[in-house]
Amino acid sequence: MNYKYTSRSEEDTLEIAENIESEKFSGMVICLNGELGSGKTVFVKGFANALEVKETVTSPTFSLIKEYDEGEMPLYHMDLYRLEDKKDDIGLLDYFNKDGICIIEWPEMLEDDLPEERLDITFKVVDENTRILVFTPHGSRYEDVCSAVL
């Protein structure tokens, strides 16, 4: 089952991310799909803010992953836009077994290696400010998160 949410501003996207964070659990994996500029990093900023991460969240496009350890639990923010075939060499898959939360931008780069249980969120651009977010939970824990928030 899919859930839809209409974001009419960056503030709306920040708010829905904060609401999803309120249902967090260790080992959570969230995959963000959408074109450049669709609001994926804004979502991560809202999630990190609710997690009480003090550091400024930016997209780790050139480093692939940024770790935030000072919040309520570790947050691992991956941006795989520039990933080539080196996923095994750099240990990306190890993050799925750590205590913390993985949020992945451009998850299709790991498509065959993503955990079966996860939350996929697709960002669709409607106009300059409006985005449709489609939430697709994979597994009962993620279904519970969507039911509680959306």
Distance CA 136, CA 133 (A): 10
Evaluate whether 131 touches 137 at the Cβ level (below 8 Å).
no
Amino acid at 69: D
Query: What are the pLDDT digits (tens) for 60-116?
Result: 767 789 999 988 999 999 988 877 665 555 678 889 989 999 999 999 988 888 999
The fold of 3-149 is Rossmann fold (3.40.50)
Q: Where are the domains of the chain?
A: 3-149
Model confidence over 114-138: pLDDT tens digits? 999 999 999 999 999 999 999 999 9
pTM above 0.85, yes or no: yes
